[in-house]
């Protein structure tokens, strides 16, 4: 897998990243090991349709339909997604992934891009309890489900930025493209979002610094006012604050 671009989300303690990559999610290298691989499907349909990630996984030994029969966490009714139990160690070592998160947005809406946030809500329910720090996903619902990249990618990025800024404990979100056409469609969108986010973050940081300076300046003025008030009160009461004696 090759890194094309990334967005860093600054926050106290760590700086998680949203990465855009080109590569095969059924052949993840060790350095890109993911705790969770997200796949998308029509509701209840895990047929390995040719030229889909579902089929590519099936052909190499990961049968999502079988995993669906014994889910670790089932949030289909609430969020339209479910989490598999850990893959067996052989599959984990071969694919460099630990679990599958299956996204079935059609359960809740025909506008898949409008419910992408549910993926992160789903992750948020268990990310605090287990070490699910790295998530990899394709351009969800943009294949056979035919949701345009220009709709799906901004929805994914907006949701990811919101949840990471809100404290979702991920170290990295890896968005993987699989061909040149996707690169041509997705890379300009990603770079535009990266630039606008970094500009916005810079402006926020600047005004935060200005605000902090003003607070300190106002605090200094208040302290001076308080000292002057105390000085006036002491003189009013007949005390000489210079030598500590009564007049």
**Going residue by residue through the chain (247 aa), what tens digit of pLDDT does each one get?**
999 999 999 988 889 999 999 999 999 999 999 999 999 888 889 999 888 899 999 999 999 999 999 999 998 888 888 999 999 999 999 999 999 999 887 655 556 555 788 888 888 876 655 577 899 999 876 655 567 888 889 989 999 999 999 988 889 999 999 889 889 999 999 999 999 999 987 887 656 555 666 666 666 666 666 666 665 666 655 555 445 554 4
Q: What is the pLDDT of residue 108?
A: 53
Nearest in space to 174 (alpha carbons), one of 130, 117, 142, 134 = 134
Task: Look up the pTM and report it.
Answer: 0.78
Q: What is the pLDDT of residue 247?
A: 42
Q: What is the pLDDT of residue 133?
A: 87
Cα separation of 93 and 178, whole Å? 22
Q: What is the pLDDT of residue 246?
A: 44
Q: Phi and psi of 27, rounded to 5°?
A: -140, 55
Q: Which residues of 20-41 are buried (b: 16+ CB within 10 A; e: fewer)?
A: bbbbebbebeeebebbbbbbbb
DSSP H stretches of helix in the chain: 53-59, 64-68, 76-79, 89-95, 117-126, 149-165, 180-236
Count CB neighbours of 121 within 10 A: 17
Those residues whose C-beta lies under 8 Å from the C-beta of residue 226, and which sit 6 or more positions away, are none
């Amino acid at each position: 897998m090759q890194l094309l671009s990334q967005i860093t989300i600054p926050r106290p303690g760590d700086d998680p990243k949203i990465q855009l990559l080109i590569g095969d999610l059924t052949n993840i290298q060790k350095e890109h090991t993911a705790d969770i691989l997200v796949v998308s499907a029509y509701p209840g349909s895990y047929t390995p349709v040719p030229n889909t990630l579902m089929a590519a996984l099936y052909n190499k030994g990961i049968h999502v339909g079988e995993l669906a029969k014994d889910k670790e966490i089932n949030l289909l009714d609430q969020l339209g997604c479910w989490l598999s139990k850990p893959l067996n160690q052989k599959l984990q070592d071969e694919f460099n992934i630990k679990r599958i998160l299956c996204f079935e947005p059609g359960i809740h809406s025909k506008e898949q891009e409008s419910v992408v946030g549910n993926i992160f809500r789903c992750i948020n329910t268990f990310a605090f309890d287990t070490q699910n720090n790295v998530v990899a996903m394709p351009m969800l619902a943009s294949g056979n489900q035919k949701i345009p990249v220009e709709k799906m990618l901004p929805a994914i990025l907006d949701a990811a930025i919101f949840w990471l800024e809100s404290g979702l404990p991920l170290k990295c979100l890896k968005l993987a493209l699989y061909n040149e056409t996707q690169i041509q469609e997705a890379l300009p969108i990603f770079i535009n979002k990266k630039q606008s986010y970094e500009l916005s973050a810079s402006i926020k940081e600047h005004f935060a610094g200005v605000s902090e300076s003003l607070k300190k300046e106002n605090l200094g003025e208040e302290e001076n006012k308080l000292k002057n008030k105390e000085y006036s009160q002491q003189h009013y009461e007949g005390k000489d604050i210079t030598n500590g004696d009564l007049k």
